Amino acid sequence: MTTRLTSEFASRCAAIALGHVTREYPNHILHGLDGPEDAKTPSELHPVFYGSYDWHSCVHGYWMLARLLRLYPEMPEAPAIHDLFSTMLVPDKVAGECAYFDRPMARGYERPYGWGWLLKLAAELHGHEDTAWAQALSPLTERIVQRFRDFLPLATYPVRVGTHFNTAFALRLAADYAETVGDDGLFDLLRATALRWYGSDTACPAWGEPSGDDFLSPALIEAECLRRLMPATDFARWFDGFLPDISAGQPRTLFAPTAVSDRSDGKIAHLDGLSLSRAWCWGSLAGTLPETDPRRPVMIEAAHGHLEAGIAHVAGDYMGEHWLASFAVLALTETEC
């Protein structure tokens, strides 16, 4: 099992995403209605991101395709990706997405998970070969940036669950956008919020992990969030106190890949994503440590074990297939270990 993205696996993941980002049904909509006129089909509500079972999965399906196109511009699926983006990422369709977010009922729509992924997509498109894609998306990008600016000062407490509501994951993705486009004000807000929420955390027991439908580790994504947002020296001190017993393989629950009993159950299938997101976090965090640090081999082994457990299941039942490949590509392209 490779721990690096190969052209063959990239092609496989691209084919998976191309098969679902414009697949309208089945569809799971979290949609508030002001009246009967708001009862519409997914593609009527969301002219771009109506596929992949739900809005956020469609967004990160587009992110994955953009990432793979950049890394493998000659891949067999490249022409289809070009056609998709040139057809869908256009001003009139993005205006429809903006109109949805402008509805009063949509104030908290996709907060914070979908917000983070939209900015991750915008960051990936920034500087891409076809500048029209990022330019077309920019009105929606600007709305989501403003959502973060409005919401974070009001959010007294973080959300520490292992699902879509986790706030550390959203900050982590948004940080990539802020740095990529040079939005220092947004980056400073993200950093200040992360420190306010998590900066005093120590001796994390991870006692509630994993929950039955987690696809994120609350402990590890918090650490990865602060790794991304804190200066390296400050993070090293914080990390030493947050997970002080890594070299002894503790907390043990963070080192064992999860068992998935039914991949046709969308919630239980989340646990394959937990393996992939843990692989990303462990690998990224290990990359901050010196080669001689006794924690490093322990963390790398954990990363590889989780990756192997999750990557075999990126295709199969649609409950996992509509999103898992994105997390596999995240793990394979954003760590050095």
Distance between CA atoms of residues 67 and 329, nearest Å: 9
- Cβ atoms of 116 and 173 within 8 Å: the answer is yes
Distance between CA atoms of residues 69 and 30, nearest Å: 30
* Phi-psi group of 233: left, alpha or beta (phi > 0 → left; psi -120 to 50 → alpha; rest → beta): alpha
What's the mean pLDDT in 297-313? 96
Distance between CA atoms of residues 272 and 317, nearest Å: 12
Q: What is the pLDDT of residue 2?
A: 52
Neighbours of 336 (CB within 10 A): 9
What's the mean pLDDT in 311-335? 96
What's the mean pLDDT in 12-36? 96
Note the pLDDT tens digit of each residue in 39-82.
999 999 999 999 999 999 999 999 999 999 999 999 999 999 99
pLDDT at 97 > cutoff 60 = yes
Q: What is the pLDDT of residue 33?
A: 92
- Whether the model clears a pTM of 0.95, i.e. scores above it, the answer is yes
